[in-house]
Amino acid sequence: MITSSVPRPEPVAPVRPPRTRPLRARALPGAVRARMPDGALTALALFTGVRLAGTAAVIIGNLLAGRPPVRDLAHAWDARWYLHIAEHGYGTLIWITPTGGVQSDWAFFPLYPALIRALTEVLPLTPGAAALLISWTAAFVAAYGVYLVGHLLHGRAVATALVGLWAVLPHAVELTIAYTESLFAALAAWSLYCVLRRRWLWAGTLALFAGLARPTGFAVAAAVCVAAGHEVLRRHGRVPPALWIGAALSPLGWLGYVLRVGLRTGDVPGGYFTVQSAWGSRFDLGAGAVRFLGALFAHGGKLVYAMALLVVVISLVLFGLLCLDRAPLVLVVFSAVLVLLVVCGSGSFSSKPRFLLPAFPLLIPPARALARAWGPRRAQVLLIGGALAAVSLVCGAYVIVVAHAPL
């Protein structure tokens, strides 16, 4: 595991265009003011094309199944809770499970429904349409942030491969439905990029908003704080005030919402965690997952669970490769927290691949391998990319249209 965030050139990649000039200081994110890095438009076009194809696959699947073609995109599973919060606020929707558990809307973090409500106030959109517009826009912004991180560390070829791999993840369809993954991924990617560029105030602010987007938002805050702490040690305390402010800001979004739920439930330190427990979501060191997998191996189950298990196992391997690759500390910490939560947390096993979607740094090692192979083995790389895209389209349509398992 690396103890530095200093970018390194890709040592064995083919000749590529020179790096773009450094981003201008005091702005952000600096990339807004500096020119777009070489190859970014190509990578974003690739991402957009793949995800549009994924959306089309879901629509076609719904039509073949005799269902409304686009309803699942905006009203599947948790999306209905977000839309209800956007329209009616918190504390107005509960669900009594078959076992008598009481699930409330306080389990859902506020940033996404707040954006939905704000958009419907200024544009003539239904909440569902507003939710999709936010998700699609955020997915595009996230892809650009992913590209910037890859370009900063390893150049154009690796950055393009990184965005392409992120677009063809088996559950990447969930980036373009009315869920929070694309919004969280956008905030996380740009916060991590700002840490790599030493834009500490922006990194902390974006981490704060990431903490308002998802329960896993504290992964971004943890990455920012650990990177800031390492910078303090590396520079013997001679750091700018922005570093301290950014680190202090980073966990406030997550902490603020957790405390708010605690106040509303009458249990300040534990109210939020009680709400999550009613949804079967708790940190139990993987005991729940082990019990589920035991039942799965003993009695079988839906294909979606086998897919989820495969994704989790591959993510563990990729995390090991990321550490061996000596990736920047901030990327390792962010990925480690997300992987740890997936492996050691309870909850619906079919949802675990979705929780890993924002962990794009895990794809850096295979992206580097594809970039190295692009020159001498271009046909093989294209074949692998096409196969991964086909699998992604089929898996996306399956989990949305056929599986009927929690996303």
- The stretch 137-152 carries a mean pLDDT of 97
CA distance 9 to 158: 11
Q: How confident is the model at residue 257 (pLDDT cuts 50, 70, 90)?
A: very high
Phi, psi of 325 (to 5 degrees): -75, -5
CA distance 385 to 392: 10
Is the predicted pLDDT of residue 309 greater than 80, yes or no? yes
Q: Which residues contact 119 (CB under 8 A, 6 or more apart)?
A: 125, 130, 133, 134
Q: Which residues contact 99 (CB under 8 A, 6 or more apart)?
A: none
pLDDT tens, 193-243? Answer: 999 999 999 999 999 999 999 999 999 999 999 999 999 999 999 999 999
Is the predicted pLDDT of residue 328 greater than 50, yes or no? yes
Per-residue model confidence (pLDDT) at position 100? 65
Is the predicted pLDDT of residue 68 greater than 90, yes or no? no
Is the predicted pLDDT of residue 28 greater than 90, yes or no? no
Q: Are 235 and 69 in contact (CB under 8 A)?
A: no
Is the predicted pLDDT of residue 54 greater than 70, yes or no? yes
Is the predicted pLDDT of residue 32 greater than 70, yes or no? no
The mean pLDDT value of the chain amounts to 88
Q: How confident is the model at residue 45 (pLDDT cuts 50, 70, 90)?
A: very high
pLDDT tens, 350-392? Answer: 889 999 999 999 999 999 999 999 988 999 999 999 999 999 9
CA distance 191 to 206: 5
Is the predicted pLDDT of residue 9 greater than 50, yes or no? no
Q: How confident is the model at residue 94 (pLDDT cuts 50, 70, 90)?
A: confident
